[in-house]
Amino acid sequence: MPTQFEELQARAAKRWDELTAGDSAWIRVGGGTSGQAVGAEEVFEALKTSAESTGANANVSMVSAMGLMYLEPQVDVLMPNGARVFYGNVEPEEAQMIVEQHVQNGEPLMDRAFAYSGGYGTGVGNLPELESMPMVALQQRIATRNFGDTDPHDLLQYVANGGYAALNRALTEMTPAEIVDEIKAAGLRGRGGAAFPAGVKWSFLAPSDAPVKYVLCNCEEGDPGAFNDKGIIENDPHTLVEGLIINGYATRSTHGYIFIRTGHEKPIESARKAIAACYEAGLLGKNILGSDFSFEMEVSLTGDSYVAGEETALMEAIEGKRSTPRYKPPFPAAAGLWQKPTNINNVKTISYVPEIVRNGSEWFKGIGTETTSGTAIVCLSGHITYPGMYEVPMGMTIREVLDKVGGGVSEGERIKVLQAGGPLNGLLGEEAFDTMIDFDAMSAAGASIGSGGIIVGNETVNVVDLLRSLVAFNQFESCGKCFPCRLGNTHMLEILDRMCQNKAKPADLALLERVGTSMRAGSLCGHGQLGFNPIASALKYFGDEIKSCLGGEGTPAGVYGDGRMILPTRTRP
């Protein structure tokens, strides 16, 4: 008799066959928040309408975004027994043409396509193969392996591509302790920024025999420039849900929460649908897949508050309070959410777990560098030719990522400054571009992989103006609990504002440093402790530019010519 999981797999295989090996064409439109921002939904509707009105034999699906965001809205067509052909920057008006020429007449629009994939090795005209394009070839996709291929809202498509096999393996072949050991051996380090070994963190929670224990997954991700956590949830939520169930099994927990900021509708909808589908398929709830293990999961929403991403503040928010950090100890593993033993991980960390359990720790350890195994999911934005989300092996240099994956900057321009790892991490100048992407190498350079966001600035970017916008963000988002952070950020913002308006004095630099030092010493969480980081790193790489703003003789910064910047008026009471 087939097991519950084998039955699910059989249903999934049938579904995938219908889509990919039947006699209908499959038109896929890359969705997600980023796609929405450039009109992917309109393109999807137009394709559906065209397919219906022409009576074309085609399935039209909104699938996950591939991460090549400069090509969005992105559409691809898989013909029966044919290759998959990709179109970029598609307009709704082009839908009719794609359906008529490509789907009905079997003739791809060669001047509009940018790549092909699969087929019989004969190629499609002179299109490059998708897998040979540098921004795809240089990636090693683990957490983002299904991006561009599957419908995030269809559990069966995820299962058909190897999904939940890791959970099934964990429940049938492995004890919780063996999984914790496997994660430890894989060298998986937390991707939320602190880079703490995930297996070790799990082992703090596992031994407790408390009747209720929680595993929390942090997708607060308020970092400007980072969209990979939300990207994973909206594009492949089941990777995360499967990882979190395994996390729950390994730590012998009873409840899981996925924590997302309100207003980010696509990730929220995606996570909720994935959880509902899992309950229906017996992957969540009592006796998962017929085993002894029972586990509940839900989505918890927070209001707008950046500090809610700090682990103890996150627990306060789930409890429905103001998201301000708690004193430690007690640590979450002893007394966390509702004072119960708790384990907290970032979305990316958890999303690696299914593939580690499926392929073994040796495989994962073999990717990346000695000290940081696995991949980095990098979000490129700002002045870069190919903005997008790319999963590259750890150990690649920043320059390789910028030039080869991101396509560098336009001819005649130069990348001047990078803001890496979110507003509490540093700025990097050109001499740091040969740094390896690796937790230790990046932090030695004065920045951090942190959230994975890299904002690229060309020579038009004024470093002091950029610093002001970072500190303005930190000031706006300080929760206000510790006064060195609350007042320190305000004070630093005032000084930077003076510098931008050419009203600063040389003594202001020492004042900045003094405020920064107090914040580091006197704040409870990273928001205050790390608040001086952007300025400290900027002094290292752009010291001259910063000092030139102190004599009252430079050109005012900002876009208005007088050094002003429009800032939010609201602060927390």
Residue 7 binds another protein, judged by CB under 8 A: no
Residue 111 DSSP SS3: coil
Minimum CB–partner distance for residue 153 and another protein (Å): 17
Say how many residues touch another protein, by CB under 8 A: 72
CB nearer another protein, residue 14 or residue 321: 321
Residues 68-87 that bind another protein (CB under 8 A): 69-70, 72
With beta carbons less than 8 A apart as the criterion, state whether 99 and 79 touch. Answer: no
Rounded Cα–Cα distance for residues 392 and 546 (Å)? 33
Candidates 201-209, 237-245, 255-263, 434-442: pick the segment binding another protein (CB under 8 A): 255-263
Q: In what order do the strands lie in the sheet with 296-302?
A: 296-302, 255-261, 214-219, 342-346
Minimum CB–partner distance for residue 181 and another protein (Å): 32
Name which position in 86, 227, 249, 439 contacts another protein (CB under 8 A): 227
With beta carbons less than 8 A apart as the criterion, state whether 159 and 282 touch. Answer: no
Put residue 502 in one of left, alpha, beta given phi > 0 → left and psi -120 to 50 → alpha. Answer: left
Residues 284-303 that bind another protein (CB under 8 A): 296, 298-303
Minimum CB–partner distance for residue 263 and another protein (Å): 6
Residue 225 binds another protein, judged by CB under 8 A: yes
Rounded Cα–Cα distance for residues 272 and 251 (Å)? 23
Residue 31 binds another protein, judged by CB under 8 A: no
Candidates 20-28, 170-178, 544-552, 556-564: pick the segment binding another protein (CB under 8 A): 556-564
Candidates 95-103, 222-230, 351-359, 542-550: pick the segment binding another protein (CB under 8 A): 222-230
Minimum CB–partner distance for residue 519 and another protein (Å): 19
Residue 317 binds another protein, judged by CB under 8 A: yes
Binding mask 265-284 for another protein (x = CB under 8 A): x-------------------
CB atoms within 10 A of CB 12: 22
Minimum CB–partner distance for residue 20 and another protein (Å): 29
Question: Using alpha carbons only, how large is the chain's radius of gyration in Å?
Answer: 25
Q: What number of helices (H) and strands (E) belong to the chain?
A: 22, 14
CB nearer another protein, residue 116 or residue 259: 259
CB nearer another protein, residue 160 or residue 461: 461
Name which position in 270, 323, 343, 537 contacts another protein (CB under 8 A): 323
Residue 380 binds another protein, judged by CB under 8 A: yes
Minimum CB–partner distance for residue 428 and another protein (Å): 14
Token digits for 445?
């350079």
Minimum CB–partner distance for residue 284 and another protein (Å): 12
Residue 536 binds another protein, judged by CB under 8 A: no
Put residue 68 in one of left, alpha, beta given phi > 0 → left and psi -120 to 50 → alpha. Answer: beta
- Nearest alpha carbon to residue 314 among 187, 229, 199: 229
Exposure string of 279-300, with b = 16+ CB inside 10 Å and e = fewer, is eebbbbeeebbeeebebebebb
CB nearer another protein, residue 427 or residue 504: 427
With beta carbons less than 8 A apart as the criterion, state whether 81 and 70 touch. Answer: no
Rounded Cα–Cα distance for residues 248 and 171 (Å)? 11
Paired with 557 in beta bridges are none
Contacts of 388 (CB under 8 A, 6+ apart): 67, 68, 69, 70, 135, 379, 380, 406
With beta carbons less than 8 A apart as the criterion, state whether 247 and 350 touch. Answer: yes
Residue 397 binds another protein, judged by CB under 8 A: no
Name which position in 318, 396, 415, 546 contacts another protein (CB under 8 A): 318
Question: What is the 3 state secondary structure string of 304-366?
Answer: CCHHHHCHHHHHHHHCCCCCCCCCCCCCCCCCCHHHCCEEEEEHHHHHHHHHHHHHCHHHHHC
CB nearer another protein, residue 237 or residue 368: 237
With beta carbons less than 8 A apart as the criterion, state whether 257 and 299 touch. Answer: yes
Residue 196 binds another protein, judged by CB under 8 A: no
CB nearer another protein, residue 81 or residue 569: 569
With beta carbons less than 8 A apart as the criterion, state whether 189 and 195 touch. Answer: yes
Residues 412-471 that bind another protein (CB under 8 A): 419, 423, 453, 455-457, 461, 466, 469-470
Residue 148 binds another protein, judged by CB under 8 A: no
Candidates 318-326, 350-358, 499-507, 509-517: pick the segment binding another protein (CB under 8 A): 318-326
Minimum CB–partner distance for residue 233 and another protein (Å): 11
Minimum CB–partner distance for residue 304 and another protein (Å): 4
Minimum CB–partner distance for residue 481 and another protein (Å): 10
Rounded Cα–Cα distance for residues 129 and 290 (Å)? 43
Minimum CB–partner distance for residue 278 and another protein (Å): 15
CB nearer another protein, residue 175 or residue 262: 262
CB nearer another protein, residue 221 or residue 438: 221
Rounded Cα–Cα distance for residues 201 and 28 (Å)? 40
Token digits for 534?
């952007």
Residue 226 binds another protein, judged by CB under 8 A: yes
Name which position in 81, 122, 126, 569 contacts another protein (CB under 8 A): 569
Residue 401 binds another protein, judged by CB under 8 A: no
